[in-house]
């Protein structure tokens, strides 16, 4: 079963000086196919939770299990390998590789996975078409708009066929039109291909499109609600 | 691997200004160090060629023990091995000499001189003595005549066609006396040679010293310094052991070698200081690049790029810069070194005082650079290796990098 289970996740920054509790005993279960938004005010622990779920950061206490594998005790190299195979990331600042074209950015993780050339080509073409950038495959990030860059970032995150896509404030730098466009693409991929999306956001437009909204306050889950998305 | 190279190569050209700054550091490093080494080596090669060319030759053969105690009594007949072997094996031409000190006299003047009996043709091919004639003409084989150095001529108020009287102790104590018309006057840049050299044809000097068919020294005329070790080795093997000493120019001029070593030590120290400055320059740009791209490194690790692979990409990126900078440095150094090789620095046109000092030591004050492949590639290699070692810094940084902290920065 492809799911994310967190048990008693606690994260304390500066434990030896001035301790700051970012997460305080977060228990959570996210099932495959969910379109979940983690919301909350600044400093509530959204990004920290996403980083810990994605294996980018270690919790002070507690465990994270992804698709049956506990990742919190994994060694660094294993964790990188695990992320490459199971988790896709979409960042607020797009974070594409500037010297690679859109096509090469999407293909990059598959190259790291040593996928065959034909498979890479086919998948890259499919994904760029899916995010509406089939005509921009040879364009470098600097020549793309913010919205287009974020769509390439989504295609890149999807390329290795991960179990989950973790998106940290994916719309924070986008205008309304680009935000709608991006959300349409992600909702379609979720609906049609069953891809799981977990967002950290405080963008109401994203919250309105989510099926499940988890609200964090002071590092604790305040509410966890299912909702019917607007579209 | 192709991806790593592609990524590295594109990253090289991503920030052109930074690339050109780094390449410029490497370029100037190779250029300066190559020029410095070429200048130092060229100057010493020239000095050695001067000394070898003035008189000594690259190697000499004597009777065993002659060099320690230079006596006419250690004269010897040229052995058959020395007459045939060198030419057959190593294209060596021999310059037989008989040398000893004598008292030279003219009218009321007397001075001590070194009488060198030599084969005028062979001598000229080794030391180009005929080109030093400033008055009169060069010696002819077998003629009863003397060629004297300019200093002697000045001190003794001698001119061409004047007669020089020589008195000495000859072979095994015989009286040596003779008078010789001066056929020519030669000039040496070395004041030491200028005040004591008197040349006679070999047969005439042998008769003067009462040592017919004997020589004290056989100087070897070799094409260049590289031909010395095999020639010396072959001669030592060919000549009867214990009877002769075969000495190369390093053994003949130990003081010169010591001076060269001392100068080389100073030059290496300078070079080391230059390398340190260069290393800090290159390190500065690598440090700047690493700092600027920490965020990107964090992202790449996050999306699944292994740290070692990422480190290798950055290492290759810097290595590519090192290769480009080193090649540019070589290409820049070649014309510079070549120019100073063909247009040597001539101190005589700058300072009379400096000229005097060098001439006193027996060197002409001309300093060409050594235009040899080793000068360029060794320096390029050293600078490249410095770059390659410094390129490990980003790798160490990447190994310790925490993606979250890097992306937060």
**What residue segments make up the domains of chain B, in order of their start?**
2-52+256-408, 59-221
Confidence of residue B257 (pLDDT cuts 50, 70, 90): confident
The pLDDT tens digits for B174-199 are: 889 999 999 999 988 777 788 899 99
- Beta carbons of B278 and B34 less than 8 angstroms apart: no
The pLDDT tens digits for A154-188 are: 889 888 888 889 999 888 877 888 888 888 888 88
Kindly list the distances between the CA atom of residue B308 and the CA atoms of A110, B120, B312, B395, in Å, as whole numbers in the listed order. Answer: 18, 72, 6, 7
| SS3 label, residue B33 | helix
Nearest to A28 by CA among A72, A71, A73, A63: A63
What is the C-alpha separation between B188 and B211, in angstroms, rounded? 28
**Cβ under 8 Å to B: A residues 44-83:** 51, 54, 56-57, 76-77, 80-81, 83
Cα of B96 vs its chain's centroid, Å: 25
Return the C-alpha torsion angle B22, B27, B32, B34, nearest 10: 130
Structure tokens at A58: 């270690």
Q: Residue B25: its pLDDT value, please?
A: 85
Is residue A155, in this structure, part of any structural domain at all?
yes
Average pLDDT over residues B141-167: 93
Which three-class secondary structure string do you get for chain A? Answer: CCEEEEEEEEEEECCCCCCEEEEEEEEEEEECCCEEEEECCCCCCHHHHHHHHCCCCCCCEEEEEECCEECCCCCHHHHHHHHHHHEEEECCCCCCCCCCCHHHHHHHHHHHCCCCHHHHHHHHHHHHHHCCCHHHCCCCHHHCCHHHHHHHHHHHHHCCCCCEEEEECCCCCCCHHHHHHHHHHHHHHHHHHCCEEEEECCCHHHHHHCCEEEEEECCEEEEEEECCCCC
**Is pLDDT at B87 greater than 60 in this prediction?**
no
What is the C-alpha separation between B45 and B368, in angstroms, rounded? 9
Q: Which residue of B lies nearest to A142 if distances are taken between CA atoms?
A: B14
Q: For residue B346, give the H/E element and its range.
A: strand B345-346
What is the C-alpha separation between B20 and B23, in angstroms, rounded? 5
Residues 6+ apart with CB under 8 A from A54: A83, A87, A89, A166, B302
| Distance of residue A35 Cα from the nearest chain B Cα, in angstroms | 21
The pLDDT tens digits for B194-234 are: 889 999 999 999 999 999 999 999 998 887 777 888 888 88
CB contact under 8 A, A108 and B403: no
Structure tokens at B355: 């000229």
- Chain A hits for B3, Cβ within 8 Å: 108, 111
| CA torsion through residues B13, B18, B23, B24, sign | positive
**Is pLDDT at B361 greater than 70 in this prediction?**
no
CB contact under 8 A, B299 and A95: yes
Closest CB from A89, A97, A99 relative to B302: A89
**Is pLDDT at A50 greater than 90 in this prediction?**
yes
A42 by Cβ neighbours in 10 Å (0-12 / 13-18 / 19+) ranks as: exposed
Is residue A30, in this structure, part of any structural domain at all?
no
Pairing mode, strands B214-215 and B76-77: antiparallel
Please tell me what DSSP assigns to residue B179: E
CB contact under 8 A, A83 and B3: no
The position carrying tokens 């994916």 is A170
Nearest to A206 by CA among A162, A176, A163: A176
Instruction: Identify the CATH number of the domain in which residue A146 sits.
Output: 3.40.50.300
Nearest to B80 by CA among B94, B101, B66, B65: B94
- Beta carbons of B115 and B161 less than 8 angstroms apart: no
Is residue A90, in this structure, part of any structural domain at all?
yes
Average pLDDT over residues B343-364: 72
Q: Residue B363: its pLDDT value, please?
A: 67
Residues on chain B bordering chain A, Cβ-to-Cβ distance under 8 angstroms: 3, 7, 10-11, 14, 295-296, 299-307, 309, 402-404, 407
Is residue A97, in this structure, part of any structural domain at all?
yes
Q: Which residue of B lies nearest to A98 if distances are taken between CA atoms?
A: B14
Please tell me what DSSP assigns to residue B144: S
Please tell me what DSSP assigns to residue B211: -
CB contact under 8 A, B303 and A108: yes
Average pLDDT, chain B: 87
Confidence of residue A63 (pLDDT cuts 50, 70, 90): very high
What is the C-alpha separation between A6 and A168, in angstroms, rounded? 18
What is the C-alpha separation between B187 and B359, in angstroms, rounded? 12
What is the C-alpha separation between B209 and B182, in angstroms, rounded? 19
Q: Which domain, by its residues, includes A215?
A: 35-44+75-226
The position carrying tokens 């090669």 is B45
Minimum mean pLDDT range among A151-165, B76-90, B96-110: B76-90
Nearest to B163 by CA among B176, B182, B150: B182
Kindly list the distances between the CA atom of residue B276 and the CA atoms of B280, B328, B333, B383, in Å, as whole numbers in the listed order. Answer: 6, 20, 20, 10
- Chain A hits for B14, Cβ within 8 Å: 98-99
Average pLDDT, chain A: 89
Kindly list the distances between the CA atom of residue A6 and the CA atoms of A103, A213, B74, B303, in Å, as whole numbers in the listed order. Answer: 35, 16, 101, 21
Closest CB from B14, B306, B307 relative to A99: B14
Nearest to A1 by CA among A31, A28, A29: A31
The pLDDT tens digits for B311-326 are: 999 999 999 988 999 9
Beta sheet of A35-39, edge-to-edge order: A87-90, A164-168, A196-200, A35-39, A212-217, A220-226
Minimum mean pLDDT range among A46-50, B68-72, B222-226, B265-269: B222-226
CB contact under 8 A, A80 and B306: yes
Average pLDDT over residues A31-49: 91
- Chain A hits for B306, Cβ within 8 Å: 77, 80-81, 112
Confidence of residue B173 (pLDDT cuts 50, 70, 90): confident
> How many separate domains does chain A show?
1
**Is pLDDT at B6 greater than 90 in this prediction?**
no
- Beta carbons of A209 and A219 less than 8 angstroms apart: no
Nearest to A205 by CA among A157, A163, A160, A172: A172
Average pLDDT over residues B332-353: 85
- Chain B hits for A77, Cβ within 8 Å: 306-307
CB contact under 8 A, A57 and B404: yes
| SS3 label, residue B60 | strand
CB contact under 8 A, B304 and A80: yes
Give me the DSSP letters along B71-135: -GGG-EEPPHHHHHHHHHHH--EEEEEEEEEEEEEETTEEEEEEEEEE-HHHHHHHH-GGGGEEE
């Amino acid at each position: 079963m492809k799911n994310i289970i967190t048990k008693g996740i606690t994260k304390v920054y500066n434990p030896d000086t001035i301790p700051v509790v970012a997460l305080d005993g977060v228990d959570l279960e996210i099932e495959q196919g969910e379109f979940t938004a983690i919301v909350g005010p600044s400093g509530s622990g959204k990004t920290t939770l996403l980083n810990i779920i994605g294996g980018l950061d270690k919790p002070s206490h507690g465990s994270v299990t992804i698709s049956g594998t506990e990742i919190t005790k994994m060694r660094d190299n294993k964790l990188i390998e695990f992320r490459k195979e199971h988790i896709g990331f979409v960042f607020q600042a797009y974070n594409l590789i500037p010297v690679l074209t859109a096509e090469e950015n999407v293909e990059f993780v598959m190259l790291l996975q040593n996928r065959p050339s034909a498979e890479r080509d086919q998948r890259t073409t499919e994904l760029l078409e899916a995010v509406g950038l089939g005509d921009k495959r040879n364009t470098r990030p600097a020549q793309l708009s913010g919205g287009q860059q974020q769509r390439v970032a989504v295609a890149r995150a999807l390329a290795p066929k991960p179990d989950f896509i973790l998106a940290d404030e994916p719309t924070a730098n986008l205008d309304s039109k680009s935000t709608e466009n991006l959300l349409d693409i992600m909702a379609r991929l979720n609906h049609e291909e069953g891809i799981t999306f977990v967002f950290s956001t405080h963008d109401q437009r994203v919250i309105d499109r989510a099926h499940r909204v988890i609200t964090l306050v002071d590092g604790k889950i305040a509410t966890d609600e299912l909702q019917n998305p607007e579209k | 691997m192709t991806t790593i190279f592609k990524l590295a190569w594109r990253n090289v050209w991503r920030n052109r200004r930074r690339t050109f700054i780094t390449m410029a550091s490497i370029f100037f490093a190779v250029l300066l160090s190559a020029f410095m080494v070429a200048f130092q080596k060229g100057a010493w090669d020239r000095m050695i060629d001067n000394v070898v060319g003035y008189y000594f030759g690259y190697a000499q053969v004597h009777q065993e023990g002659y060099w320690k105690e230079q006596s006419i009594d250690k004269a010897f007949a040229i052995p058959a091995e020395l007459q045939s072997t060198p030419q057959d094996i190593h294209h060596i031409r021999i310059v037989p000499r008989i040398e000893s000190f004598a008292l030279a006299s003219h009218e009321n003047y007397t001075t001590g001189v070194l009488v060198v009996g030599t084969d005028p043709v062979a001598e000229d091919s080794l030391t180009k003595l005929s080109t030093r004639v400033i008055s009169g003409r060069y010696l002819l084989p077998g003629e009863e005549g003397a060629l004297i150095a300019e200093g002697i001529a000045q001190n003794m108020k001698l001119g061409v066609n004047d007669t020089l009287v020589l008195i000495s102790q000859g072979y095994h104590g015989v009286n040596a006396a003779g008078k010789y018309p001066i056929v020519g006057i030669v000039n040496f840049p070395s004041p030491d040679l200028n005040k004591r050299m008197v040349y006679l044809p070999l047969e005439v000097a042998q008769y003067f010293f009462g040592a017919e068919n004997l020589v004290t020294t056989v100087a070897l005329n070799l094409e260049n310094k590289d031909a010395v070790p095999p020639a010396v080795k072959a001669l030592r093997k060919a000549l009867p052991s214990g009877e002769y000493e075969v000495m190369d120019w390093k053994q003949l001029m130990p003081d010169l070698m010591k001076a060269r070593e001392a100068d080389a030590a100073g030059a290496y120290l300078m070079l080391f200081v230059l390398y340190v400055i260069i290393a800090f320059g290159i390190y500065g740009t690598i440090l700047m690049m690493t700092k600027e791209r920490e965020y990107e490194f964090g992202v790449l690790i996050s999306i699944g790029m292994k740290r070692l692979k990422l480190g290798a990409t950055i290492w290759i990126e810097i290595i590519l810069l090192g290769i480009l900078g080193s090649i540019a440095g070589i290409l820049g150094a070649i014309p510079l070194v070549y120019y100073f090789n063909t247009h040597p620095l001539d101190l005589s046109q700058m300072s009379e005082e400096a000229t005097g000092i060098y001439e006193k030591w027996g060197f002409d004050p001309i300093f060409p650079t050594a235009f040899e492949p080793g000068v360029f590639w060794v320096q390029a290699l050293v600078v490249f290796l410095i770059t390659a070692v410094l390129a490990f810094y980003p790798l160490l940084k990447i190994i310790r990098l925490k993606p979250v902290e890097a992306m937060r920065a």
